Amino acid sequence: MLLWLIPILPFCGFLINGLLGRRMPKALVNVFAVGTVALSFAWVLKTVMQLGPIEKAYVEHYYTWIQSGALNIGLDFAVDRLSAVMLLIVTGVGLLIHIYATGYMAHEGGYYRFFAYMNLFMFFMLILVLAGNYLVLFVGWEGVGLCSYLLIGFYFLEKFATDAGNKAFIVNRIGDFGFSLALFFIVRQFGSLDFGTVFAKAQGMPTEASAGLITGICLLLLVGATGKSAQIPLFVWLPDAMAGPTPVSALIHAATMVTAGVYMTARSAPLYLHAPLAMEAVAIIGIATAFLAATIGLAQNDIKKVFAYSTVSQLGYMFVGVGTGAFGAGIFHLMTHAFFKALLFLGAGSVIHALSGEQDLRNMGGLRTKIPITFWTLLCASLAIAGVPFTSGFFSKDEILVSAYHYQPWIYWVGVVTAGMTAFYVFRAMFLAFFGKYRGHAHPHESPLSMTGPLMILALLSLGGGFINVPHWLEPMFPAAAEASGESWPMYVASFAGLFGIFMAWLFYVAQPKLADQFAGAMGILYKAVYNKYFVDEIYDATVVEPLVQGSRTVLWRGMDAGVIDGLVNAIGARSRGVGGILRRLQAGNVRGYAAWVVFGCVLLLIVIGLGTGGAK
Amino acid sequence: MNFLIVSLIKAGVVAFVLMTTLAYLQWIERKVIAHIQLRVGPYRVGPHGLLQPLADVIKLITKEGFIPSHVNLFFYMLAPFLAVTLSLISISVIPFGPEIEVAGVKTWLQLTDLNIGVLFVLGISSVGVYGVALAGWASNNKYSLLGGLRSSAQMISYELPLALTVAAPLLMLNTLSFREIVNGQAGYLGGWLARWTIFQLPFPQIFLGFPLFLICSFAETNRVPFDLPEAENELVAGFHTEYSSMKFASFFMAEYANMVTVTCVATLLFLGGWTPPFPAPYSNVIPIVLFAIGGLAALYAGINPARPKDRFTLPVAGLVFLGLAAAFAASHLVPALETVLMALFWFCGKVLALLFLFIWIRGTLPRFRYDQLMRFAWTFMFPMAMLNLLVTSIMVALFPKP
Amino acid sequence: MNGVPLSWYLILSTVLFALGIAGFLYRRNIITMFMSIELMLNAVNLTFVAFSYKLRQVDGHIFTFFVMVVAAAEAAVGLAIILTVFKNRQTLEIDEVSSMKY
Amino acid sequence: MWSAIIFLVFAFVAVVAAINLVVQTHPISSALSLIGVMGSLAVLYLLLGAEFIAAAQLVVYAGAIMVLFVFVIMLLNAGAENAKPIGSRAKYFGLPLLIAFLGIMSFVVQAVIPGGNNVVFGEYHAGPRDVGKALFTDYLLPFEVVSVLILIAIIGAIVLARKEID
């Protein structure tokens, strides 16, 4: 089936663009960048067609990577229903965003570099999705982290961009730390990293009522997931990651990479099903993140920041889904979210592009008429994320909420509130941007087809995507997934909350624009807290970063490195110099002296031999 | 004991014949070159200058052996000795004819047969350079030193192609012993073409091997056009400038001995030794006819001579030739004798022909310049020899002997 | 007595080797030292050939052959180096080229 | 009988020539005596039945390598060493070392090599055919490697010596 072709194609693109791109015209760069992704997408389609109903995972083993004792880790790819869905999402959305980027980045420097990174990202993401065991998945995991770092810091001339990149990277390290620990535990527990064997063994084990090893593993995995998918407490990097170009935000920080955590959790479902505690933790973290991020999103003025926080909260939803056992729903929401959130970002990008770089909502407005296509497509996305009935978001989100209701009602209610807030801030952004009268100074212009084309496709997807019944398709993988039973009122409540949020937004920002400020004034301290993202960054700085920096400066650098290590090295150097001073006398540069020494050695050897064989005769 | 006696006899005979050959070879050379240059050449001493070599030998022996000052005496003396010895040694493995039986003693017309004869000759000839080199160095003279240097460099450079070309017929005949080499070339291709290595399938050496070997042997023997060690117009007389009397003579002997050796080796390796060029009954007639014609011609020339002396000498020579022809004809009655005579005739014939070629070239070709010589050696001879060896070995590998 | 014991050959080669060492140690002329090295090589070759006689195996000859070839290569390069040294310092005294740069 | 005599004669020649190599002050004399050693060794090889090696000894060593030496000596026109007194270090350290080496080596040889296997001429001989067979079957790779080595040596020699010549 040549699965390896799928990731390798973008990698070729990366190589060509990265090595030769500097000298190639942009058109050629486009050809390679987009062409390879398109080919990979086509190959994914072909593969999925051929595999048909994938009852059991289809594995391709390429070679044995690590073999030590009983442990035997191969480089192998696997495709089952879950990864098939992921493959389609990643390559499809990725393709659209690549096309979009050709238009968006047209006037940027480092064009080839950008696309080289994008292709490299596709490569690693596909490895992550195709991975047949945890280690390969980890490779992809780290790889996408690297690419995200590179792309966030794409404008490496601005300090904030590089800082944001570093932040993302470091925060992810924390998560990866947990993840790798989890891997070690898995090896220790199951003696393998291969999905098949691990899960098969896990099936045999009893469900852990109290905290056990599997629970520990799952919690560590969760740490990794929180890092990659920007959940509490590690969500802080994602909003800053918006420093990267908008297509990056769309592809990496909305559609694909950040969902890797969800994917990984769903992938490890058999483990989680044996660790209810861990699942509960997942659900709680998810809902908390969703709520917190939503509240922050209410008060942001940077359009991308708004969408960033909505991403965080949507990811929270997904975690709620997988945490409450509705893995299918989680992945479903992942897909729909990929559609409409990518669309939101691309639309935002289109707006920014139209206003030539303006990102602050307060300087927009009344763009409805000036850039209609962007407006209408963005509207679709907003409807979808708000969960208006029969849009894609409606189905997925509501399935999650329903399963949450069956899991624990309070999670459901929080979720409903969050849904309302989501609708509110998304439409707040919409109204601020497109209604009222224009408050900026730039001259808006509609984006080229290369950008609007993907927008429209994604709009259709985010409207109709809900009718793709992913959960049903995924059922055989997650037998234990609790499905919505008879009563259907929770759905109506949720969607009503969405509509209510939209109405409030309309009330605040279109009907009586004064109201918003009065409301903010009335809220006062709370508003300030929300506006400043609950001072999370500051808290982290005070509690984590500063101590680390100080500690490493005083203890590690001055004490450890300068004191002990250098001292050792210098001591060794001094000793060897002393010895050399003595030995130097042998090396007078006089050849015959050397020869004499050689003969001396020979004689010694001979004496030994002679003593050894003395009695032989 | 028997073996010892026989060997002693053979050694004596060979030594005597060789010495005379050397002496007269020089005479022949002078004659031939003289005629090439439209001169008469040695003419006074004895009939038709025939006693010239004798006179030379006497002169050289009786001359004062002058030893210049500031020479390194030991090496100065050692050099000619080395030269002549090394050049004479290699004759000892050269067979002149097949196995014969004299008075019930079976023996080969050869001093001794090493089964690495060819390698032996190569080794000796490669050592032979020391004579010249030492002579040049020891005689404390710029010209001689240059001569010695040149000869050593030249020898080393031309030994490689020589050895490579020698290797080709060895590959075809698959032996190193001269006897077997000659036996390997016996017989006739399709009844008439001799299976000498220059004609022998799978790869006749006449295309590359033989010419290359000849050129190399010219260089090895320091003969024109490769006689740079004694280039009389640049270095007075090269390495033997400072030598006189017998020491000088021994250098000359060495040179001619080398020529003889080389031509013998060429004959054995490429021209099938003593095997006649076409089958026996017809080839046996050749010497008779030749000598007869020669004799008659000489008689005819004697009847109306160009010079007064010839009225005596030419008829004598003619009679001698006729006598030889008669001898050959008579030997037809005694098969044992006939084989010996035929073998000797063909072998000496070929050797003499080659020697004549040497002299001829000396008479006609100019001398190389030194850089030309070296470039020629390394950029033409060496690759060509390589090519020859390569092709030969491939052919041999492709068409193995039945 | 028929032939000589093998050990004679070996002792002969030992003596030659020791003489080679002596030449290397006591001569100061680079070329002579070089020749002493060649002498040692020859001594070793003798042992090779002697042992291949004793063991009735041809491998000793092969080794000798290789030693010769390597010696040839060594001589070519070594003499070239000597030429260069002589050109730079106008001397063949080993003691006077003891310093790496001058 | 004969082989014993020949061995003794040529062993004697070899040793004398080697001593001469060491004691002679003039490089040319040393070179000549080395050639003498090689020649006698070639004869000993013949005694040991190593025909090919004997010939190679003559051709390669005596015929090529030593000619090269002589050539270089002549080219540099190297004079005799100016006699210096042997250094005390050499006298009191080197000389005993050599004696010790010689003694112990011969002792070891005597100890290791059992007596009674005499070297008789003609009992065993390995002609070019055998050597060639071994060389191109078992030792093909070393052979190729050595040929490459030779090529390198040629190039190196040219590179080194060119500066000298022009």
What interface predicted TM-score (ipTM) does this complex get? 0.70
pLDDT at B259 over 80: yes
Pick the residue of C30, C37, C92, C95 with the most A CBs within 10 A to test the interface with A by mutation: C95
pLDDT at A296 over 70: yes
D134 with C59: Cβ contact below 8 A: yes
Mean pLDDT of all residues in chain B? Answer: 82
Q: Given CA atoms B9, B10, B12, B17 in this order, what sign does their dihedral have?
A: positive
Q: What's at A125, amino acid-wise? A: M
| Residue entry with tokens 């969607």 | A495
d(CA A605, CA D100): 12
By Cβ distance, the residue of C25, C98, C100 closest to A595 is C25
A609 with D108: Cβ contact below 8 A: yes
Pick the residue of A586, A591, A597, A617 with the most C CBs within 10 A to test the interface with C by mutation: A591
From chain C, the residues in CB contact with D15 under 8 A are 12, 15-16, 19
Is residue C8, in this structure, part of any structural domain at all?
no
CB pairs A-D closer than 8 Å = 36
Could you tell me the pLDDT band of residue A118, with boundaries at 50, 70 and 90?
A: very high
Distance from CA of C44 to the nearest CA of D (A): 11
- Quote the pLDDT of residue A21: 85
Across A415-444, average pLDDT:
85
D129 to chain B: closest CA residue: B175
Distance from CA of D49 to the nearest CA of B (A): 12
Is residue C12, in this structure, part of any structural domain at all?
no
Digit-coded pLDDT (tens) for B365-383? 888 888 888 888 888 888 9
- Quote the pLDDT of residue A36: 92
Pick the residue of A603, A605, A608, A609 with the most D CBs within 10 A to test the interface with D by mutation: A603
d(CA B144, CA B137): 7
Across B262-289, average pLDDT:
83
- Quote the pLDDT of residue A614: 56
Among residues A230, A210, A338, which one has the least CA distance to residue A277?
A210
- Chain A touched by C99 (CB under 8 Å): yes
- Chain A touched by D92 (CB under 8 Å): no
D27 with C29: Cβ contact below 8 A: yes
C27 with D22: Cβ contact below 8 A: yes
The backbone torsions φ and ψ at residue B348, rounded to the nearest 5 degrees and listed phi first, read: -60, -35
- Quote the pLDDT of residue A41: 92
What is the per-residue DSSP string for B225-260? TS-GGG-TTTSSSGGGTT--HHHHHHHHHHHHHHHH
For B365, which DSSP code?
Answer: -
User: Contacts from B282-290 at CB under 8 Å and sequence distance 24+?
Assistant: B283/B342, B283/B346, B284/B328, B284/B332, B284/B338, B284/B342, B287/B324, B287/B325, B287/B328, B287/B341, B287/B342, B287/B345, B288/B325, B288/B328, B288/B329, B289/B325, B290/B325
3-state secondary structure of B174: coil
B158 to chain D: closest CA residue: D64
From chain C, the residues in CB contact with D149 under 8 A are 69-70, 73
d(CA A38, CA A76): 23
d(CA A149, CA A142): 10
Across D68-88, average pLDDT:
75
Q: Given CA atoms B51, B56, B59, B61 in this order, what sign does their dihedral have?
A: negative
d(CA D32, CA D12): 16
The backbone torsions φ and ψ at residue D89, rounded to the nearest 5 degrees and listed phi first, read: -55, -50
d(CA D97, CA A599): 7
Distance from CA of D75 to the nearest CA of B (A): 7
Could you tell me the pLDDT band of residue C99, with boundaries at 50, 70 and 90?
A: low
- Quote the pLDDT of residue A487: 64
Digit-coded pLDDT (tens) for A176-201? 989 999 999 999 888 888 888 888 88
Tokens (6 digits) for D18: 């080697």
User: Which helix H or strand E contains A605, and what residues bound it?
Assistant: helix A591-613
Could you tell me the pLDDT band of residue A42, with boundaries at 50, 70 and 90?
A: very high
Distance from CA of C24 to the nearest CA of A (A): 7
From chain D, the residues in CB contact with B163 under 8 A are 59
From chain A, the residues in CB contact with D111 under 8 A are 610, 613-614, 616-617
d(CA D54, CA A42): 74
- What's the pTM value of the predicted model, to 2 decimals? 0.58
Q: Break chain B into its structural domains and give their ranges.
A: 64-284+332-398
Digit-coded pLDDT (tens) for A445-491? 888 888 888 889 889 888 888 888 888 788 777 765 455 555 677 77
By Cβ distance, the residue of A603, A609, A614 closest to D97 is A603
D27 with C87: Cβ contact below 8 A: no
From chain A, the residues in CB contact with C94 under 8 A are 591-592
Mean pLDDT of all residues in chain A? Answer: 85
C66 to chain D: closest CA residue: D146
Q: At what angle do helices C30-54 and C6-26 cross, to 10 degrees?
A: 170
Digit-coded pLDDT (tens) for B154-194? 888 888 888 889 888 888 888 888 888 888 888 777 777 77
Digit-coded pLDDT (tens) for A5-38? 899 999 999 999 888 888 888 888 888 899 999 9
Tokens (6 digits) for C13: 């080669």
For A401, A593, B354, the CA distances from B266, given in Å and listed in that order, are 106, 53, 9
Across A98-103, average pLDDT:
90
| Residue entry with tokens 């050499």 | D90
d(CA A158, CA A109): 14
Q: Do chains B and A touch (3 or more CB pairs under 8 A)?
A: no
Domain count, chain C: 1
B153 to chain D: closest CA residue: D71
- Quote the pLDDT of residue A119: 92
User: Which helix H or strand E contains B101, and what residues bound it?
Assistant: strand B97-102
d(CA B302, CA B312): 7
| Residue entry with tokens 């390698």 | B119
From chain A, the residues in CB contact with D107 under 8 A are 610
By Cβ distance, the residue of D28, D39, D55 closest to B75 is D28
By Cβ distance, the residue of D98, D160, D163 closest to C21 is D98
CB-based contact A301:A362 (threshold 8 Å): yes
Digit-coded pLDDT (tens) for B45-69? 877 778 888 888 888 888 877 888 8
From chain D, the residues in CB contact with C50 under 8 A are 48, 119
From chain C, the residues in CB contact with D81 under 8 A are 27-29, 32, 93
d(CA D28, CA A132): 77
Q: Break chain A into its structural domains and give their ranges.
A: 156-529
Among residues B120, B124, B53, which one has the least CA distance to residue B83?
B124
pLDDT at A590 over 80: no
What is the greatest pairwise CA distance in chain B? 66
D115 to chain A: closest CA residue: A617
What is the per-residue DSSP string for B264-330? HHHHHHHS-TT--SS-HHHHTHHHHHHHHHHHHHHHHHHHS-SSTTHHHHHHHHHHHHHHHHHHHHH
- Quote the pLDDT of residue A617: 44
Digit-coded pLDDT (tens) for A558-569? 777 777 888 888
- Chain C touched by D63 (CB under 8 Å): no
For A13, A130, A251, A445, the CA distances from A122, given in Å and listed in that order, are 10, 12, 10, 31
User: Contacts from A55-61 at CB under 8 Å and sequence distance 24+?
Assistant: A55/A476, A56/A80, A57/A132, A57/A195, A57/A196, A58/A1, A59/A132, A59/A196, A60/A1, A60/A3, A60/A4, A60/A132, A61/A132
B137 with D28: Cβ contact below 8 A: yes
Digit-coded pLDDT (tens) for D16-43? 998 888 888 888 888 888 988 998 998 8
User: Which chains have at least 3 CB atom pairs separated by less than 8 Å from chain C?
Assistant: A, D
Could you tell me the pLDDT band of residue D87, with boundaries at 50, 70 and 90?
A: low
d(CA C62, CA D53): 9
Among residues A434, A410, A421, A411, which one has the least CA distance to residue A387?
A421
Pick the residue of D40, D60, D70 with the most B CBs within 10 A to test the interface with B by mutation: D70
- Chain D touched by C46 (CB under 8 Å): yes
Q: What share of chain C is helix, strand, coil (3-state, %, to 5)?
A: 80, 5, 15
Provide the percentage of residues in chain B whose pLDDT is more than 90.
0
CB-based contact C74:C55 (threshold 8 Å): no
B171 to chain D: closest CA residue: D129
CB-based contact A87:A79 (threshold 8 Å): yes
Residue C35's CATH number: 1.10.287.3510
Q: Range of C45's domain?
A: 28-97
Q: At what angle do helices A327-354 and A392-407 cross, to 10 degrees?
A: 140
Among residues A390, A398, A381, A407, which one has the least CA distance to residue A493?
A398
Distance of CA B184 to the CA centre of its chain: 22
For A74, which DSSP code?
Answer: E
CB-based contact A495:A387 (threshold 8 Å): yes
Across D155-166, average pLDDT:
72
